[in-house]
Amino acid sequence: MKIRKRGPNSWQFVVEVAPRGRDGKRYRKWITVRGFKRDAQRKLTEIQNSLNAGTYVEPSRMTLGEYLDQWLVDYAKPNVEARTLQRYRQIVEQHLKPALGLYAVSQLQPVHIQSYYTEALSSGHRKREAGLSPTSVRQHHQVLRKALQHALRLQLIARNPADAVEPPRAARNEMRVLDETEVKALLETAQGTLLYVPILLAVATGMRRGEILALLWDDVNLE
């Protein structure tokens, strides 16, 4: 495969990629690389190696924002609980899309993700000047990595760039529980409202909110 000069800082070469369509015919694709000739040679070698290994993926013009919207509908909605989906949507809409959504999925690099994490930790909170907590940024990393892993399975990308990024370590905060006086004050405040029974169940049993809200009379044994 020959590399030809296309412009002052532009080089071009052609490769034969996997068959498309029912006829099974391979087709030729022109690749343009900006920079020096050695950059084009490096790209050509990279593509040749991936073609030989069967791992070559054609670059997609889909942006990360467009892909995340599709991922929420096609993958997350059918496979996760409603509350988890709600959290995914919040992270995608309020954080990932504003920060990274304009990058093409195929062009997203680990350095872009790492820069976002750094920015989120320093000034990522929308309601105040302070940054997000390490725990919150780790949640963003988990959602982004899961979404990109699905893109990898769909062959939209050749590798998951989030795998090369180290998320911040979650801060370990000592759990604080209510003492007897505080529990009494909480129950007295909730007395006479629709929240009294759910709060009483939470305090008395330690059940999570989703477990309490899902209780049916068939689950209750008064004896």
Whole-angstrom distance, CA of residue 64 vs CA of residue 71 = 10
Distances (CA, A) of 195 to 35, 168, 186, 215: 64, 36, 11, 14
**What's this model's pTM, rounded to 2 decimal places?**
0.61
Residues 82 and 150 in one domain: yes
Is there a domain that residue 175 lies in? no
Q: Could you tell me the two tokens for 85?
A: 């989906």
Q: What percent of the chain has pLDDT over 90?
A: 49
Segment 131-190, tens digit of pLDDT: 898 999 999 999 999 999 999 988 888 899 999 999 988 777 788 889 999 999 999 999
Residues 78 and 155 in one domain: yes
Q: What is the pLDDT of residue 26?
A: 61
Is there a domain that residue 150 lies in? yes
Q: What is the pLDDT of residue 6?
A: 83
Residues 49 and 82 in one domain: no
Residue 114 buriedness (CB in 10 A; 0-12 / 13-18 / 19+) = middle
Residues 68 and 160 in one domain: yes
Q: How confident is the model at residue 24 (pLDDT cuts 50, 70, 90)?
A: low
Domain that holds residue 34: 4-53
Is there a domain that residue 88 lies in? yes
Is there a domain that residue 45 lies in? yes
* Count of structural domains, the chain: 3
Segment 103-137, tens digit of pLDDT: 999 889 999 999 999 999 988 666 556 789 899 99
| CATH, residue 96 | 1.10.150.130
Beta bridge partners of 82: none
Contacts of range 89-92, beta carbons closer than 8 Å, 24 or more positions apart: 91/139, 91/140, 91/143, 92/68, 92/143
DSSP 8-state code for residue 169: P
SS3 category, 206: coil
Is there a domain that residue 171 lies in? no
Q: What percent of the chain has pLDDT over 70?
A: 88
Residue 206 buriedness (CB in 10 A; 0-12 / 13-18 / 19+) = exposed
Is there a domain that residue 169 lies in? no
Residues 142 and 214 in one domain: no
Residues 190 and 128 in one domain: no
